[in-house]
Amino acid sequence: ESFDFLLNLKVPFIKIGSGDSNNLLYIKYAATKKVPLIVSTGMIEKATVTSIYDIISSHHKQFCLLHCVSAYPTPYEDCNLRVIQDYRNSYDVPVGYSGHELGINVAIAAVALGAKTLQILNNPTPYEDCNLRVIQDYRNSYDVPVGYSGHELGINVAIAAVALGAKVLEKHITLDKSMKGTDHVCSLTPTEFQQLVRDVRVIEAALGNPIKKVVTSEIPCIDKLQKSLVMGSTKNKGEILYPGDVKIKVAEPKGLNALHFEEVIYKTLVYDKKEDEPLNEGDFC
């Protein structure tokens, strides 16, 4: 109903949150409406992300997949920003990042890694001339460590360079940005330099690995928000479960993961089950 409400408002796109990332029936319905979609992929594995991609792309390609870790706040070491690069290599739709970690630096790194739903600030070296993707070209071309020597304002571009693989950073330091000389204005004060070091350490932790999987910090959110299977009506032992007899909802206690919907329908109940009771393994055959 909420999806149809938004459709009637003629919104330019609709966001599907991670709480519905395992609700493939809902995603199928949304895909048939051919409205642009942004889909967060927290609390699921890569195989389910691929299922989401296949379902929506069978109807249209006006959608974006957001790498997401559903933990509040997300520990930096669980951000696994390299998943963004894996998504870019795996799916021919825009990829973004939905971040719940503290601060802005991880989001900046996500943009450097290819997230299309975030932007780096525009404005020394003009930001548009930094061309950080050269770092990736160097890494692919030469078998030595690659770094970045930056003369742009601030520390954000240097942080993004680390996200792209820079192993060495050069930033000039000054005690007074108003002093004469070419580079004082774009140099860092000692305090800014300390912040750069701290932020680089955050990014190093946040890069993680490119394997999309459920991480431990997501478990509380899974327990609270992820959809599971419950009875849509009261049925007796020996009766067959038809699609309308099984609901997908946030339930307590939980039933089977909603991803198992197709495996449950048309099975036979081995126990009497009341409406809204969770469906678990062993309840059907």
> What is the model's pLDDT at position 138?
79
Residues 131 and 192 in one domain: yes
Residues 131 and 96 in one domain: no
Domains in the chain, number: 3
Per-residue tokens: 180: 């004469």
Residues 163 and 72 in one domain: no
> What is the model's pLDDT at position 48?
95
Residues 173 and 88 in one domain: no
pLDDT tens-digit readout, 237-281: 999 999 999 999 999 999 999 999 999 999 999 999 999 999 999
Domain-located, residue 11 = yes
| Whether 14 contacts 38, CB under 8 Å | yes
Domain-located, residue 217 = no
Domain-located, residue 221 = no
Q: Is pLDDT of 121 > 70?
A: no
Domain-located, residue 234 = yes
* Percent of all residues in the chain with a pLDDT value above 90, rounded to a whole number: 53
Q: Which residue has the higher pLDDT, 113 or 252?
A: 252
pLDDT tens-digit readout, 150-194: 777 888 888 988 888 888 787 888 999 888 877 788 888 999 999
Residues 97 and 131 in one domain: no
> What is the model's pLDDT at position 118?
41
Mean pLDDT to the nearest integer, 36-65: 93
The CATH number for 275's domain is 3.90.1210.10
Domain-located, residue 120 = no
Residues 274 and 186 in one domain: no
Mean pLDDT to the nearest integer, 218-224: 93
Mean pLDDT to the nearest integer, 212-224: 92
Domain boundary among 144, 172, 207: 207
Residues 76 and 7 in one domain: yes
Assign 199 a pLDDT band (cuts: 50, 70, 90). Answer: very high
**Euclidean distance between CA atoms 3 and 239, whole angstroms:** 32
Mean pLDDT to the nearest integer, 79-90: 87
> What is the model's pLDDT at position 71?
85
**Euclidean distance between CA atoms 28 and 14, whole angstroms:** 14
Domain-located, residue 57 = yes
Residues 171 and 86 in one domain: no
The CATH number for 47's domain is 3.20.20.70
C-alpha distances out from residue 227 to 95, 165, 266, Å: 24, 37, 20
> What is the model's pLDDT at position 122?
29
Q: Is pLDDT of 197 > 90?
A: yes
Residues 239 and 196 in one domain: no
Q: Which residue has the tokens 């525009």?
A: 122
Per-residue tokens: 55: 């379902």
Domain boundary among 143, 175, 207: 207
C-alpha angle with apex 91: 50 to 132, nearest 5 degrees? 135
> What is the model's pLDDT at position 275?
96
Mean pLDDT to the nearest integer, 41-47: 92
Residues 100 and 6 in one domain: yes
Per-residue tokens: 142: 């030469």
Can you give the residue range of the structural domain that contains 141? 127-207
- Among 15-29, 108-122, 158-172, 235-249, the minimum mean pLDDT is found in 108-122
Residues 191 and 231 in one domain: no
Q: Is pLDDT of 123 > 50?
A: no
Assign 119 a pLDDT band (cuts: 50, 70, 90). Answer: very low
Domain boundary among 176, 207, 238: 207
Q: Is pLDDT of 124 > 70?
A: no
